[in-house]
């Protein structure tokens, strides 16, 4: 199969995916704001923090960082910045999502293809729950390419634990009273574990949208270059044909002149 045909197929599939991926990412971005606001109101409540000292991460531990890349090519430098951060990260534990990301580093807890993320996400959630119960990390972060809109994509390093207070102090006072039945720490750990799992899924979906936008742009640019090369070749072929035709005319003209002489 010719290169142009392959690029056309990839461009077509990217166009099909872009719209659905974009809608999903925008929908989840809205959910993420509401979810963050809700969990922030609970976890950063002053009464919980003072009375129970719940979910206070240990300061003397390293971080867990979830790196999200992709599985396929034709995405320009989609994975380059993430791989650069991966290679520099010598101290933190890592979860790698996407087979285009490098595994040539240390402290990898688990690694999976992006295509298998939703199937394997249970293992990530279980590990995060265990890490919260045993206070393994001082923070949990996710690194990925974020989809803002069709014209804006960007690398994001987001802290998803501990859950930082919302900056709008007028909106958040964090001193509401709650009536709690049962072990508050156990309830919060499970709640935060679910929240972190959703945040990772939201990041993966945003990364998927960014990937398809990038692939569509790259394949479109590649098609334009291929067509330009083909056009230049056609021009050269036409010039060569004209040159040969003109040469034959000159030769025939000379041949006729010689016969007349």
Question: Alpha-carbon distance 160 to 57, whole Å?
Answer: 12
User: Confidence band (pLDDT; 50, 70, 90) for 12?
Assistant: low
Phi first, then psi: give them for residue 70, nearest 5 degrees. Answer: -145, 180
Strand stretches in the chain, DSSP E: 63-68, 93-97, 108-112, 139-149, 152-161
Interhelix angle 184-260/3-43, nearest 10 degrees: 160
Phi-psi label, residue 54: left if phi above 0, alpha if psi -120 to 50, beta otherwise? beta
Question: pLDDT tens for residues 209-230?
Answer: 888 888 777 666 665 666 676 7
Phi-psi label, residue 74: left if phi above 0, alpha if psi -120 to 50, beta otherwise? left
Is residue 149 helix, strand or coil? strand
Mean of pLDDT over the chain: 79
Question: Alpha-carbon distance 69 to 64, whole Å?
Answer: 16
Question: Alpha-carbon distance 181 to 144, whole Å?
Answer: 38
Average pLDDT of the segment spanning 123-148: 93
Question: Alpha-carbon distance 117 to 114, whole Å?
Answer: 5
Question: pLDDT tens for residues 34-84?
Answer: 777 778 877 777 766 655 556 778 888 999 999 999 887 767 678 888 999
Is residue 151 helix, strand or coil? coil
Q: Which residue did the predictor score with more confidence, 2 or 42? A: 42
pLDDT for residue 208: 87
Closest CA to 218 of 72, 114, 84: 72
- Are 134 and 190 in contact by the 8 Å Cβ rule? The answer is no
Closest CA to 194 of 106, 129, 120, 116: 129
Per cent of the chain over pLDDT 90 is 25
pLDDT for residue 6: 60
Sorted by where each begins, the domain ranges of the chain are 3-219
- Are 130 and 139 in contact by the 8 Å Cβ rule? The answer is no
Architecture category of domain 3-219 in CATH: 3-Layer(aba) Sandwich (3.40)
Average pLDDT of the segment spanning 94-110: 90
User: Confidence band (pLDDT; 50, 70, 90) for 1?
Assistant: very low
pTM: 0.76
**pLDDT exceeds 90 at position 95:** yes
């Amino acid at each position: 199969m010719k290169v142009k045909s392959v690029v056309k197929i990839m461009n077509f599939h990217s166009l099909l995916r872009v719209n659905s991926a974009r809608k999903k990412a925008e929908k989840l971005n809205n959910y993420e704001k509401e979810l963050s606001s809700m969990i922030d109101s609970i976890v950063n409540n002053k009464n919980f923090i003072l009375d129970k000292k719940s979910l206070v991460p240990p300061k003397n531990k390293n971080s867990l960082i979830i790196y999200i890349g992709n599985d396929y090519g034709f995405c320009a430098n989609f994975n380059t910045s993430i791989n650069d951060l991966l290679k520099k990260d010598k101290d933190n534990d890592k979860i790698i999502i996407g087979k285009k990301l490098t595994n040539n580093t240390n402290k990898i807890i688990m690694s999976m293809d992006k295509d298998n993320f939703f199937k394997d996400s249970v293992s990530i959630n279980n590990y995060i729950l265990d890490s919260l119960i045993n206070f393994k990390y001082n923070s949990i972060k996710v690194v990925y390419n974020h989809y803002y809109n069709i014209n804006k994509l960007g690398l994001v390093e987001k802290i998803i634990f501990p859950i930082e207070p919302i900056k709008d102090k007028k909106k958040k006072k964090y001193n509401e009273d709650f009536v709690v039945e049962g072990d508050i720490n156990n309830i919060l750990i499970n709640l935060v574990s679910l929240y972190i799992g959703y945040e990772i899924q939201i990041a993966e979906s945003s990364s998927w949208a960014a990937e398809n936008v990038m692939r569509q742009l790259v394949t479109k640019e590649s098609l334009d270059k291929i067509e330009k090369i083909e056009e230049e070749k056609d021009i050269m072929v036409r010039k060569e044909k004209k040159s040969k035709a003109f040469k034959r005319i000159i030769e025939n003209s000379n041949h006729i002149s010689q016969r007349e002489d």
